[in-house]
A and B are shown apart, each in its own frame.
Chain A
Amino acid sequence: MSPYVTTILTLSLFIGTCLTIFSEHWFTAWMGLEINTLAIIPTTPKNPRATEAATKYFLTQSTASMVMMFAIIYNAWSTNQWTLMQLSDNWASIAMTLALAIKLGLAPFHFWVPEVTQGIPLLTGMILLTWQKLAPTAILFQIAPHLNMKILIMLAILSTLVGGWGGLNQTHLRKILAYSSIAHMGWMIIIVQINPTLTILSLTIYIMATLTMFLTLNLSNVTKIKSLGGLWNKSATTTIIILLTLLSLGGLPPLTGFMPKWLILQELINNNNIMTATLMALSALLNLFFYMRLIYASSLTMFPSTNNSKMQWYDNPTQITMLIPTTTVISSLLLPLTPLFITLS
């Protein structure tokens, strides 16, 4: 694509999210989300699968925006004001929660996430699963006191279970990362009413780890488990990065990914949601299972591959790997800084 078009689209993406985060009036928040949706659609390539993915994305996000507009107008009619933080009408907050759930890809509105993520290239998928979550989460953070815990629990438990079970039968890495996104969004949404800062913390750590995964996979353009098998030869450090990042996403101590799970479980238990906490903790193990499968395929075994791919004589790295070491370190070594994040909340 022409650099002018890319610049405009990137700028629009950035501006859209910033508009939503910094807005106080509901209309500008809604506008920012729409700008985000529209800006990412043209970045998809022109093959039929990508077209289908873009269409599904557009339709679901538009439906969500319309439900959101309904909630906004209902709230304006019922409470006579348009302030973002004061979504005080109950029906409006329920409708807004469901709209944001569709936008974020929470179960039972998760069906679009795997198919859309699969149809688009790795880097676009990365933007979809990381940047596009920022604006809806910012809105959730701000309307947190008015949310309905029952709906949040339903969304969260369904998401973690669906994200876990759904990813078990996948071999395409983008779909696996999509189901991982569904599960992690479940973790983020359950704590948003009790301690919204933990939602932001969880989102940040999830974004760091997902960024690492996508950027690392993009280095060798790996999109299937079969292609992971040849990574040990092309760049063995990639396999170690994948190992650390996936174990962190799975929530194993002493990696950073354990921190949000630990803090979220602590907040849930302090608020007497002990069964919810246990159920979510155990459903994270489902995610860990298919991460382990990826780890086995890439670093811990020599996956079946052709003999040609075992001979690597030409080792000339041409890709820019600038961000990967930073995000790897952030997504695996930050657990001792937990007291810092607790005091910030």
Chain B
Amino acid sequence: MLKILTSTFMLIPLTWYSKKPWLWLNTTMHSFIISIWSLTLLYHDSDLGYNYNNYFSLDSLSGPLLILSCWLLPLMIMASQNHLAHEPLVRKKIYLTTLIILQLSLIMAFTASELIMFYILFETTLIPTLIIITRWGSQNERLNAGLYFLFYTLMGSLPLLVALLYLHNNLGSLHMLTMTLVAPTLDSSMSTSLLWYACMMAFMVKMPLYGLHLWLPKAHVEAPIAGSMVLAAILLKLGGYGIMRITAFTEPFTSTLCYPFMILSLWGMIMTSSICLRQTDLKSLIAYSSVSHMGLVIIAALMQSPMGFMGATVLMVAHGLTSSMLFCLANTNYERTHSRTLILTRGLQMILPLMCAWWLLASLANLAQPPSINLLGELLVIMTSFSWSNFSLILLGTNTVITAVYSLYMLITSQRGKFTDHIYPIKPTLTREHMLMTLHLLPLLIISTCPKFILGVTY
């Protein structure tokens, strides 16, 4: 564990000691080396995974998410080069330091083996993200976005703290391996329901669940590109990871108490997918698409079936890469026209044909085109949800169709048709942007050939 923690921490002196021409190269290169090393964590020779010491462990669920967050750091740094180009050197270094601190807390959060430690690191990720959104966002609305983000998450997570402390008192230890052996002696009363909801609320807000999702479009839209990427790709998955860990021991009650969340997810997926069709803001469209995909993850994680956990894990990794890629693509538009309005950047296929290829592949991944792992995830989720209730098939099928519709809508509006006259004199695509898209897409395609690495604990 120290291999990855120390090297990530050392990125901070690296940024502060780098001279101006070397700053971006140094940080991107070294974080890339860390992420290449982290790929070795995909190999598990036992089902229980690695148990490094009392506090850090890694198994097939946290491994892929850890690798995803390590992989994303160089991509975030690459994506931020443009909007930080005119800032003074010290501010660039502060931005990179904030990203690295966020990365450190994410690495520790995914490998934490004790639940209170996980809670502390879960909350730790809030502060750097808040700083990135509020300080480096571009519009006035970012202030509100930061507040909504912070307070929605905290309102959910303070009851989680109380619940975890209660369970600690009850069970004696909150170490995840120990807890599988010691079942809590819970009766089916109102207080157990409150306990279950207290445990779940933080992750439901984080995912986000449909009724609690108000912070997400604000935060995603107002954040700068690195903020959007890390929010969409990793921070949402903290919620899914948390659900999958905590439901391991709230056993007999999940099947009855999960109904409100299932209903909200099933309905919410369709609602947020539909609202995507009416969005004028491109980033807002991608944000609502994130809510919709995460609704699927909630359904799968709450199902507690082997296929459900597999589907949730695959969908989390796949959605992380896809959504991050879509945000990068939207950012390339934003950098050229300084506008996020979808209809203002039309017909890009004529002007930036290679970028159109990336748009096509990203949109196809978003709508779960075979053979991508997005399809694998969605199929597993649909199968497991069908086994729970036959009727949900209709809702999930409707969601798949609407997802396809808005993904293609986004693709066609931005790429096809006649381009608008004012976007004619825009800069051609930089190699850095092509590199960014390749690095997002390549893992997605390569994992499609052998998805067993990301199928999670129940494979």
Residues of B with C-beta under 8 A to A254 = 105, 120-121, 123-124
**Structural contact, B143 and A269, CB atoms closer than 8 A:** no
**Structural contact, A265 and B165, CB atoms closer than 8 A:** yes
**Structural contact, A282 and B155, CB atoms closer than 8 A:** yes
> Among A274, A289, A300, A335, which residue has its beta carbon within 8 angstroms of that of B166?
A274
Complex alpha-carbon distance, A67 and B398, angstroms: 71
Complex alpha-carbon distance, A274 and B119, angstroms: 18
Residues of B with C-beta under 8 A to A281 = 158-159, 161-162
Does A228 have its Cβ within 8 Å of any Cβ on chain B? no
**Structural contact, B120 and A278, CB atoms closer than 8 A:** no
Complex alpha-carbon distance, A301 and B151, angstroms: 19
Residues of A with C-beta under 8 A to B134 = 296, 300-301
**Structural contact, B169 and A296, CB atoms closer than 8 A:** no
Given contacts A281-B158, A292-B150, A301-B143, 5 further A-B contacts (CB under 8 A): A265-B161, A292-B147, A296-B146, A300-B134, A300-B146
Total A-B contacts with CB atoms under 8 angstroms apart: 71
Residues of B with C-beta under 8 A to A285 = 151, 154-155, 158
By CB atoms of chain A within 10 A, which of B120, B155, B158, B169 has the most?
A: B158
Interface residues on B, range: 20 to 34
Complex alpha-carbon distance, A282 and B202, angstroms: 13
Complex alpha-carbon distance, A296 and B131, angstroms: 10
Does A288 have its Cβ within 8 Å of any Cβ on chain B? yes
User: Hey, what's the 0/1 contact readout for B32-51 against A, CB within 8 Å counting as 1?
Assistant: 00000000000000000000
Given contacts A285-B151, A301-B143, contact A278 B158 (CB under 8 A): yes
**Structural contact, B154 and A288, CB atoms closer than 8 A:** yes
A12 → B minimal CB distance (Å): 42
User: Hey, what's the 0/1 contact readout for A288-325 against B, CB within 8 Å counting as 1?
Assistant: 11001000100111000000000000000000000000
Interfacial residues, chain A to chain B (CB-CB below 8 A): 243, 247, 252-254, 258, 262, 265-266, 269-270, 274, 277-278, 281-282, 284-285, 288-289, 292, 296, 299-301, 335
**Structural contact, A270 and B143, CB atoms closer than 8 A:** no
B123 → A minimal CB distance (Å): 4
B289 → A minimal CB distance (Å): 28
Does B168 have its Cβ within 8 Å of any Cβ on chain A? yes
Closest CB pairs A-B (n = 5): A281-B158, A253-B123, A300-B134, A253-B120, A269-B165
Complex alpha-carbon distance, A270 and B167, angstroms: 10
Residues of A with C-beta under 8 A to B151 = 285, 288-289
Those of B128-184 within 8 Å (CB) of chain A: 131, 134-135, 143, 146-147, 150-151, 154-155, 158-159, 161-162, 165-166, 168-169
**Structural contact, B135 and A253, CB atoms closer than 8 A:** no
User: Hey, what's the 0/1 contact readout for B105-126 against A, CB within 8 Å counting as 1?
Assistant: 1000000000000011101101
B203 → A minimal CB distance (Å): 17
By CB atoms of chain B within 10 A, which of A265, A269, A284, A285 has the most?
A: A269
Does B10 have its Cβ within 8 Å of any Cβ on chain A? no
Those of B302-331 within 8 Å (CB) of chain A: none
Complex alpha-carbon distance, A121 and B123, angstroms: 36
Does B426 have its Cβ within 8 Å of any Cβ on chain A? no
**Structural contact, B165 and A266, CB atoms closer than 8 A:** yes
**Structural contact, B147 and A269, CB atoms closer than 8 A:** no
Complex alpha-carbon distance, A253 and B153, angstroms: 13
The chain A residue with its CB closest to the CB of B198 is A278
Complex alpha-carbon distance, A345 and B151, angstroms: 32
> Among A269, A278, A299, which residue has its beta carbon within 8 angstroms of that of B169?
A269
Would you mind naming 14 contact pairs between A and B with Cβ atoms under 8 Å apart? A243-B131, A253-B123, A254-B121, A254-B123, A265-B161, A277-B165, A281-B159, A284-B158, A285-B154, A285-B158, A292-B150, A296-B146, A300-B135, A335-B120
Complex alpha-carbon distance, A273 and B123, angstroms: 24
A297 → B minimal CB distance (Å): 10
Residues of A with C-beta under 8 A to B198 = 278
The chain B residue with its CB closest to the CB of A265 is B165
**Structural contact, B126 and A252, CB atoms closer than 8 A:** yes
Residues of A with C-beta under 8 A to B5 = none
